[in-house]
Amino acid sequence: MDFNVIIMQLFTGLSLGMLYVLLALGLSIIFGLLTVVNFAHGSMYMWGAFVGVFTVAWTGNFWAALVLAPLGVGLYGLVIERWLIRPLYGRDINYPLLLTFGLQLIMIEVVRIFFGTSDHPFSAPALLSMPLEVMGIFYFPAYRVFLIVFTAVICFVLWFFLEKTDLGLIIRAGTRDPLMVRALGIDMNLIWWLVFGIGSALAGLAGILAAPIRSVYPEMGIAMLVECFVVTVVGGMGSLPGAIVAGILLGIVSSLTTLVYPQMADIVIFLVMAVVLLVRPSGLFGKAGLLE
């Protein structure tokens, strides 16, 4: 097998893995603080893509869409957290799970009504449409290189926010002992609200970034949500480092499997999840008992 082809597949897997990372980070940051399994995350991913389609059709500007998609989906997340999910805090974990599952189905139907059921074309901007020479070995789509680099920057910004800012310190403290944080006079409802908005915005960002390389259609978030849950389970529920490592790992594994045995490409990540759960039930970076 040609070594150049293997390297190209590694880069292809890395670009897929970066989409997994963005989605899984959104899921993990919400679950880590709120202990909410957000089944509406797939519809937020889909909404990000459709906001991008609408914005580009309206303005002709991909970069405007790249800004408006996470902002719009983040605002949507703030609304549903405040008025739908917040009243369910303190109840069994199944209540918000069922609510967000219902929201997923509702939002898919809303998009079908307004945008139809067919695929919507979405092209990368002209600046990123040409191939780039990588390592002097092969040519790789410039947009996928942008996706890899941009997501890496987002991961760094999120790390800096959580580790080096006062608000990030409060969020991390809230994941460990919310009662203590409340005792210090901090409004945890506001923190939960902001965290849910951030997680939603990450899903919307993943949607707009995926639009030029994946079809944009109402059900696009369903399969991606399943894959994203696999990533979060493998990395460990609520673990941000786990989401990053597992996302990249599963993206590369899926891509290399496509090269070696294409028929297994759609199920190999589930096999990896099964192996990880057998060896370490809490995931690579997870803590036991989070769902208890």
Per the structure, the count of domains in the chain is 1
pLDDT digits (tens, 9 = 90+) for 75-105: 999 999 999 999 998 888 889 999 999 999 9
What's the predicted TM-score (pTM) here? 0.94
**Interacting residues of 118 by C-beta distance below 8 A, sequence separation 6+:** 217
Please say if the pLDDT value at position 1 is more than 70.
Answer: no
Coil, strand or helix at 140: strand
Highest mean pLDDT among 60-69, 112-121, 279-288: 60-69
Contacts of 108 (CB under 8 A, 6+ apart): 43, 46, 218, 219, 221, 222
Question: Would residue 209 count as lying in a domain?
Answer: yes
Q: pLDDT class for 289, splitting at 50, 70, 90? A: very low
pLDDT of residue 172: 82
Q: 129 in a domain, yes or no?
A: yes
Whether 46 is covered by a domain: the verdict is yes
* Poorest-pLDDT segment among 34-38, 79-83, 197-201: 34-38
Is residue 238 one of the residues assigned to a domain?
no
Residue 229 lies in a domain: no
Average pLDDT over residues 54-82: 96
Q: Is there a domain that residue 285 lies in?
A: no
Report how far residue 79's alpha carbon sits from residue 127's, in angstroms, rounded to the nearest whole number.
35
Residue 272 in any domain: the answer is: no
pLDDT above 90: residue 186: no
Residue 288 lies in a domain: no
Evaluate whether 196 touches 78 at the Cβ level (below 8 Å). yes
> Residue 174 belongs to what domain range?
19-220
Q: Which two tokens stand for residue 160?
A: 């800096």
